[in-house]
A and B are shown apart, each in its own frame.
Chain A
Amino acid sequence: MNALNVTDLSIDFPTARGVVHALTDLSFSVARGRRLGIIGESGSGKTTTALAVMRMLASPGFVSGGSIRLADLNVLALPEEEMRRARLRRVSYIPQGAMNSLNPVMRVKDQLKDAIVTHEGRTEREVLRTRIEDAFAGVGLPEHVGSLYPHELSGGMKQRVCIALGVILNPELIIADEPTSALDVVTQRQVMQTLKDVQQGIGAALILIGHDMGLMAQSVDELVVLKDGILVEHGDMRRVIVNPRHPYTRELVASVPLVGGESFLGNSSVVPDVARPREGLPLLEFENVHKDYGGITALHPMSFSLCGDEPRIISIVGQSGSGKSTMGSIMLGFNPPSKGRVLFEGQDVAGMSPLQLWDFRKNVQAVFQDPYACFNPFYRVDHALSFPFRRFGYATSDAQVQDSMHEACRAVGLDPALILRRYPHELSGGQRQRLIVARALMLNPKLLIADEPVSMVDASLRATILKNIYDLKDRHGISIFYITHDLATAYHVSDFVMVLYKGQVVEAGPPKEVIGDPQHPYTQLLIASIPWPDPDRDWGGTTTAAEDIAALDASDRDALTVFRGDVPGFRLDVGA
């Protein structure tokens, strides 16, 4: 018997502009013990499907047709009280926003306890305690975690708590909605494998919702591809990935950047059309820069110098907490180093006069991770683009400002006529992220710091945005620091890669060497953790991931950086 049968399910959202069909005639089923993946971009109806199965659709959405059967339960016809009892006990939901899914004012164990007690009534204290301990042990969490509050846990730990919660009542079906999208690759692999293990342990069916074809290839048996609420392809995972029938599926498979393989950037032999006369001083230098926060070292001493005669893309890769964003904010002058100096064209950033700082801000632009947080919601796009342009004194006339905005929009593949008069909330994440690139482009900076510029956009858009950023170097002669946890994209765009681990550069050199043939165990772990869209490639079991990390922790901390070669125009020194 199938754990879940969805037949001809349609979901509508009545809005002021008419009815939006979030889902149209969707049918699929999943048996106990099996894993089904639902893949699609944001807005494709993945989460809507999950919420419909839980019968938790947000108003005004409603089921306009079809049926949902959870084994013998007719979900759509169940009285509310019975539906409530079915949640968690029959079907559990592991939400997307692991960061924010736990009640901040309750201890973690109490959030498991209230679930057990609600469904099973009063339970003896000792029994409760052992059950919760076992649940934590099952997802690889130490016992003391239960007495902590959510803010005291890392993202990976919170997601494990959610998994422990999801399986504590042995449900028949587990729905995991992008359970690892906020985690870095190493943690993602661990969490995903934990999820697979506990799912197999209780023999439940699993629905994994996501947008990453690689993750699907490593995690599921069967795959459903959704586009705009319509099922475009459904079948055995291996078949769908190896031999996709629908063009959209092909696009999804192809959009995953691979280490090695063909570059998604296309031919990049364009000669920069901007010649940058240099006055001999390096563009950006770190002189023994070291950062600690209250005794904890975030960045070990390092020096580098980017000459800037020729534009370069330097990638800084590492897990969350590796110190890569700290490095970025130090470069931008937002975060003064504890020791050492940051020099921009020979001038110490910390000791700049207001005028010099103004010039520094003009020449060093940033692209941040969250395209939603980067715009003031009260202003239209044209204001957001023109304000810094005028502020930095580039504007000569209104017509010229307009021209520059149009040109910048076209450079990142947006139609200025459609975009400029809109408010940020009317745009998609990808559009916003491209606008941020456009804004940076308008200011014609010498250096761009891009901190995870594509981690929050759909896979199919990543390539486009990275191409936009790459063009900044290629066509406009701008040097770029690309901060990311995504090694595959770093492999393709960069001239030089630094791998950061616990604030230390462990491996550095050209990407073909560092990422193509990693030598340091940490770099090797990062590469091994990437989920490949290839069902035959071994991602390792739960124990592998844990062993790899243990081996790394045991290895010599003070081991020297592995240097894999140089690139003209960039020099790196590590250590004091």
Chain B
Amino acid sequence: MGRIPRSYLLNRVVTLLLTVWIAATLIWIIPRLSPVDPADIMLGRMAAGAGAVENADQILERLKANFGLNDPLVVQYVKYIRNVVIFDFGLSTATFPTQVSTLIARALPWTVGLMLLSVVITFFIGNALGALMAWDRSPKLVRVAIPAAMVFTSIPPILSGLLLMWILAAKLRWFPLTGAYGLTVEPGWTWGFVQSVIHHGFLPALSIVIVTFGFWALGMRGLMITVQGEDYVTLAKAKGLRPRYILYRYMIRNAILPQITAFALKIGLLVAGQVLVERIFAYNGMGKLLYDAILDQDFPVIQGVSFVIILMTAVSVFLVDLVYPFVDPRVRHDGGEA
């Protein structure tokens, strides 16, 4: 243990860069295999707006030139990679001529704020409940109530979201129906705005939590049952340690290790996973951006959002790789398990 050796760090960084590069390349290749031409779509949209477009062929040519579609593929690819490095994904075709990076920058804080918070909360609640379900000293009520609560896990998020909206927003009027903040407040670092954001974020967050906590709880329960049978837990009891101490330091501490890895993967997927939640709550985050972009066949935005998703996954896995040896001493920095 101790400090992370340079070779290990280098290894991880190279892996990270390689992953991101391969992903960026795939994102570039896949739309090019599609028969749909984004320039055609833009023209179609213009036609729909103005009735008819003069000089359609010229405009099409200009657009293709602007998007660099007339260049040889190699040139397009090199340009693309150079732009990716500075997070430049070009212009959105649906909301032309907005920069894709601007759209993402606008949506990202909302998603990261809401999603990250709800994923973290879910992780803690789910694992705590899972541990309690498996612990032989939990009160009976806990062991009956939690599995009952798991029913929510089997409800699709879209349904539970609607259910929560109907009960808590439409009927009880405790929370607003949709949006990320009230229409009457001015965005900024004011108390009123923060309050409004929390108020608006509560329902979507809750719908994510109740739908996904079961994933963690069931996983944790299984891990706890395995750990409960380990010899070191038997010896801990024979040492006369207090049951609670055994629960924390001997059982949860060991059972949680695989969950941490799963957590890293979840963080990366949180954007993609909660598209529908953002959609039904009209929450202007990355999920909604992606959803709209797919409907509009807005390739630059789809590419940009996909890239951000991959980047988040890769970075969170990278971070867990760095942290893991400190949580589990058996994982040595030279990569192998002891």
Residues of A within 8 A of B (CB): 54, 56, 59, 84-89, 92-93, 95-97, 99-106, 114-115, 118-119, 149, 151-152, 162, 165
Contact = CB atoms under 8 A, between A and B. Distances in A.
A54 B230 contact: no
| Main SS class of interface, A | mixed
Given A97-B231, A101-B232, A152-B338, A88 B239 contact: yes
B232 A85 contact: no
A105 B329 contact: yes
Given A88-B240, A118-B242, A105 B235 contact: no
B254 A105 contact: yes
Interface stretch (B10-18, B40-48, B114-122, B245-253): B245-253
Nearest to A114: B241
A103 B249 contact: yes
Interface in B199-240: 230-232, 234-240
| Main SS class of interface, B | helix
A114 B232 CA distance: 14
Interface residues of B, number: 25
A90 to B, nearest CB: 9
Interface in B291-338: 327-330, 338
- A-B residue pairs, 7 tightest by C-beta: A87-B240, A93-B238, A97-B231, A149-B329, A100-B231, A88-B240, A101-B231
Nearest to B327: A105
A105 B240 contact: no
A151 B329 CA distance: 8
B236 A103 contact: yes
Contacts of B254: 103-105
A84 B238 CA distance: 8
Contacts of B236: 103
B242 A84 contact: yes
A88 B238 contact: yes
Nearest to B334: A294
Nearest to B330: A151
Given A99-B231, A104-B329, A114-B249, 15 more contacts: A54-B238, A56-B234, A56-B237, A84-B240, A87-B240, A88-B239, A95-B235, A95-B238, A102-B235, A103-B253, A105-B254, A105-B327, A105-B328, A152-B338, A162-B235
Given A114-B245, A149-B330, A151-B338, A86 B231 contact: no
A93 B237 CA distance: 10
B329 A87 contact: no
9 contacts: A96-B231, A103-B249, A103-B253, A103-B254, A104-B330, A105-B254, A105-B257, A115-B241, A118-B240
Q: Quick one: which of B236, B237, B240, B253 has the most chain A CB within 10 A? A: B240
A87 B240 CA distance: 5
Contacts of B232: 100-104
Given A105-B327, A106-B249, A151-B330, A100 B239 contact: no
A234 to B, nearest CB: 25
Contacts of A56: 234, 237-238
A59 B229 CA distance: 12
A22 B230 CA distance: 22
A96 to B, nearest CB: 8
A142 B329 CA distance: 21
B330 A93 contact: no
A88 B241 CA distance: 9
A114 to B, nearest CB: 6
Contact of A95 (B136, B231, B257, B327): B231
B230 A100 contact: yes
Q: Quick one: which of B234, B236, B239 has the most chain A CB within 10 A? A: B239
Q: Quick one: which of B232, B235, B245 has the most chain A CB within 10 A? A: B235
Contacts of A114: 239, 241, 245, 249
A271 B226 CA distance: 51
Contacts of A99: 231
Contacts of B235: 93, 95, 101-102, 162, 165
A95 B232 CA distance: 9
A132 to B, nearest CB: 14
Q: Quick one: which of B238, B242, B329 has the most chain A CB within 10 A? A: B238
A56 B136 CA distance: 13
Contacts of B328: 104-105
Contacts of A100: 230-232
Q: Quick one: which of A86, A92, A99, A101 has the most chain B CB within 10 A? A: A101
Contacts of A88: 238-240
A95 B239 contact: no
B170 to A, nearest CB: 48
A349 to B, nearest CB: 26
Contacts of A101: 231-232, 234-235
A151 B337 CA distance: 10
Nearest to A148: B329
Contacts of A105: 253-254, 257, 327-330
Contacts of B240: 84-89, 115, 118-119
A323 to B, nearest CB: 20
Contacts of A162: 235
Given A104-B232, A104-B329, A114-B249, A92 B242 contact: no
Q: Quick one: which of B232, B236, B253, B330 has the most chain A CB within 10 A? A: B232
Given A101-B232, A105-B253, A105-B327, A118 B245 contact: yes
